[in-house]
Chain A
């Protein structure tokens, strides 16, 4: 009987072996996959097990962490001025996940990132309570406040950049939401708050500064002017252009009309920008040509997602255009669409003498003991326009503010350049237009701030809506806040 017994012994051995192989498979090979599985609650438990690190603006935290009585989550995220900062922080909710900085830098904030391994080990020996590291942002509290309060009850967004470095100074979006209302996981308060925000037709959780694209309207003329200069169509901004009025778009019988009776016939580029001539810039774009317009737009960052490091949607300059479409696209109509961040990038490149810096909003990551783990260095994205042409564009934009449509952005004793925009949308332009304003301020050592403001459907009547009236005062306040904070 012993031979079959030995075989059964081998069989039992194989059963145990199969289990051993399986446990190796689960705990070694598949462990990472299981640990990051979307259904794995441990990810959340870990996220709230320790005091979460803070997001810092101007040296002060704009977030906090509060102890809870929950069995799963020891801590809960809190926010100071939640609605104002929501477009920067995103949210970290026990029940609904995390977004933006809260998600991208989750490892640092929870303290579980590999870069914090040393700190964790030290905390284990010293017996200190482990906590997360901090994320220090580039934002400017005063500018953010000016932007948020300037938008007020209106729908819109503001993006402000420091042209020399690409630091994002303000990133506001209204209507906003308070992420602390659903930071927990209570079915009685957090879930209804979340559902209400999610179902709100005004989309308060949409980050309009980064994730919404608008037709840029006349503000896009700055890009067209840059393309005209770069591609040699125009050499002198004060020389008369060959611009008939009315100008019939090639391939059509439709004239490209201007807003009102403005002096656009053969206007100089400076004047055309000052009064915002559709006919001049439409023709200029057509003369530059679709391919070269696209080339310049791309150099400014169009047609590509930006990561700051939060993802911003790609702005669009259409790739396939006929002649009339090129003309329309060149004045920011047709299919041209842009995020507020993208227009801020355009202004910042011009204000920085043609050099486009990569926009970023995380200045540095700090360990719990405030040691700097990683610092973001400014990075050049490219040179969409030459220094000479950039300075010409500045002159033109300054004329707009000094004596054109952008007078509302004037700041005493500060040189400001800007451009208004009023973009039509809806079927037959039936909806209220978007009011745009893009501008920069100039100081002794270059430009401290470039800003883009867009105000959506406002309650004001159509005629009153123009970038100069609604958006320029907000831009002015933001610029002023930045300048004042540097004093």
Chain B
């Protein structure tokens, strides 16, 4: 029989699984945050932090579990996604722990809420839940195409998730929270994934209709009126989010995601033009009527204006944080990014990166995000089925837009919106949802990179080789 196997097709040669690459990278992704943790302890208290072993073991254990599950259940998965996410999550924990020690923030919490609770332990718990969800995705989702079956259920769930915050009180001017007992959930973070599943399923079915049935007007292929229905619905939906939840970020993310997927599905540039025009019209329209959005734009244009400084100081402080970092930063634990006060460790955590890691560190952070997106897009390119392609590009596109919206807002490139830096910012919803997102991408990439099954042995071939005595 050995002779037989040797002469069969090339497909049988094992493609490298790259699991050991992943393990090596993962070692770095654990060691770097542990050293950063040590650095914070030495800088702030002049001693090796007592929680160092616990922290190191915790993050090492989470990474190890993640790796073993990938090795067993998704052996051909992309080797960079898990280490990159682990690195960001680990550094995020360090930054949150660092801000937990800020006397200024502790004072502030005591003054306003009467007590101060550190966020780092909670964040470690959320990270564990996030990894658990990641493991669950890999264990339960044997093939991403299963998700295709839930296209319309996804739509319903996503709608519910997006609409829910309307019925809960606004927190700091944006209705993006759902409060259930002691827990505050940001359903938008989960909706982002579920809506990508819906779009993938929907567009896979409709793409031909949307792509082919069109009229050519002035060099552009305009879709038929009836095909415009869905895009108009999504557009209206995102405008409604903007109006009722005053959440510019989710609205932008949601609509951008849809336009990207529509374009990929139909290969029609006209959709992009259409999308841009519609979102511009929507944004301008809403900004004209919605004082909250107007205010955000004002703060963005004049962050240091004396008349609004009381409210706009956050963005001004964030900008000064970046300036204070300079090229190489002040070093961990030695900056004053805590001057931002409210949301210093969540929406504005990138300012701490900017001040304490400097320009070099901020660029590194942004490039890590860029790499995650790049691995996602590569997965989409490698995927063999249209659903997988659409889902992978949808998820990585959403991730890219989110990073851009948050980082751009904090750095004053665009108006500030209430969103969180994936993996780094304090907040359970974000870290849990993003681990799920990475889980799905890993599942798709495993399917994509898995070698084609060896062709079934041809009975004819076997027959010809048999020499009958």
Contacts and interface: CB of A to CB of B under 8 A. Distances in A.
8 contacts: A1-B386, A13-B370, A18-B413, A26-B411, A27-B358, A34-B322, A39-B313, A42-B336
Contact of A71 (B104, B264, B319, B413): B104
B69 interface: no
Interface string B399-417: 0110110011001110000
Interface string A16-55: 1011101110111011111101011110010000000000
B413 A19 contact: yes
By Cβ-Cβ distance, the 10 closest A-B pairs, closest first, are A34-B323, A27-B359, A16-B370, A12-B400, A71-B103, A15-B404, A26-B322, A9-B377, A31-B323, A4-B264
A278 B309 CA distance: 59
A13 to B, nearest CB: 7
B381 A6 contact: yes
B267 A3 contact: yes
B69 to A, nearest CB: 28
B146 to A, nearest CB: 21
A389 B403 CA distance: 79
Contact of A35 (B324, B359, B374, B403): B324
Interface string A64-106: 0000000110000000000000000000000000000000000
B187 to A, nearest CB: 24
Contact of B362 (A2, A23, A39): A23
A35 B321 CA distance: 9
Contacts of A257: none
A27 B322 contact: yes
A7 B397 CA distance: 12
B326 A31 contact: yes
A281 B327 CA distance: 66
Given A19-B404, A22-B413, A39 B397 contact: no
Given A16-B366, A32-B323, 20 more contacts: A4-B267, A5-B264, A5-B377, A5-B381, A8-B393, A9-B381, A12-B373, A12-B377, A15-B400, A16-B404, A18-B404, A19-B366, A19-B404, A19-B407, A19-B408, A23-B322, A34-B319, A35-B323, A39-B313, A40-B323
A123 B327 CA distance: 22
B264 A8 contact: yes
A221 B380 CA distance: 93
B339 interface: yes
B126 interface: no
B186 interface: no
Contacts of A7: 263
B367 interface: yes
B327 A34 contact: no
Nearest to A28: B359
Contacts of B326: 27-28, 31, 35
Nearest to A45: B336
Contacts of A24: 359, 363
B325 interface: yes
B412 A26 contact: yes
B147 to A, nearest CB: 18
Residue among A1, A13, A18, A30 with the highest chain B CB neighbour number at 10 A: A1
Contacts of A33: 323
Interface of A: 1-9, 11-13, 15-16, 18-20, 22-24, 26-28, 30-35, 37, 39-42, 45, 71-72
B260 interface: yes
A33 B303 CA distance: 14
A35 B339 CA distance: 14
Interface residues of B, number: 51
Given A8-B393, A28-B327, A16 B369 contact: yes
A355 B302 CA distance: 54
B309 A39 contact: yes
A1 B211 CA distance: 12
Contacts of B267: 1, 3-4
A71 B109 CA distance: 14
Given A5-B381, A16-B370, A71-B107, A27 B397 contact: no
Given A1-B386, A5-B393, A22-B408, A27 B381 contact: no
Contacts of A37: 304, 320, 323
Contact of B411 (A23, A32, A35, A45): A23
A13 B354 CA distance: 21
Contacts, number: 133
B263 A26 contact: no
Interface in B226-281: 260, 263-265, 267
B175 interface: no
Contact of A20 (B309, B327, B358, B363): B363
A27 B362 contact: yes
A231 B358 CA distance: 66
A72 B339 CA distance: 10
Given A6-B381, A8-B264, A39 B316 contact: yes
A8 B263 contact: yes
Contacts of A27: 322-323, 325-327, 354, 358-359, 362
Contacts of A32: 323
B366 A20 contact: yes
A200 to B, nearest CB: 26
A18 B370 CA distance: 12
A16 B400 contact: yes
A40 B323 CA distance: 10
Contact of B380 (A5, A45, A71, A72): A5
A473 to B, nearest CB: 50
A37 B327 CA distance: 18
Interface string B342-382: 00000000000010001100110011011001100100110
A8 B397 CA distance: 8
Contacts of A11: 260
Nearest to A26: B322
B430 interface: no
B82 to A, nearest CB: 20
B123 interface: no
B320 to A, nearest CB: 5
Contacts of B67: none
A16 B367 contact: yes
Interface string B42-71: 000000000000000000000000000000
B389 A5 contact: yes
B445 interface: no
A37 B309 CA distance: 14
A31 B104 CA distance: 23
B389 A1 contact: yes
B411 to A, nearest CB: 5
Contacts of A13: 370, 374
Given A18-B408, A34-B324, A23 B359 contact: yes
Contacts of A45: 336
Interface string B173-196: 000000000000000000000000
B195 to A, nearest CB: 17
A41 B336 contact: yes
A1 B264 CA distance: 6
A435 B70 CA distance: 93
Interface string B310-339: 000100100110111111000000001001
B420 interface: no
A1 B400 CA distance: 20
A23 B363 contact: yes
Contacts of A39: 304, 309, 313, 316, 320
A41 B339 contact: yes
A449 B260 CA distance: 83
Contacts of A18: 404, 408, 413
A69 to B, nearest CB: 10
B429 interface: no
B396 interface: yes
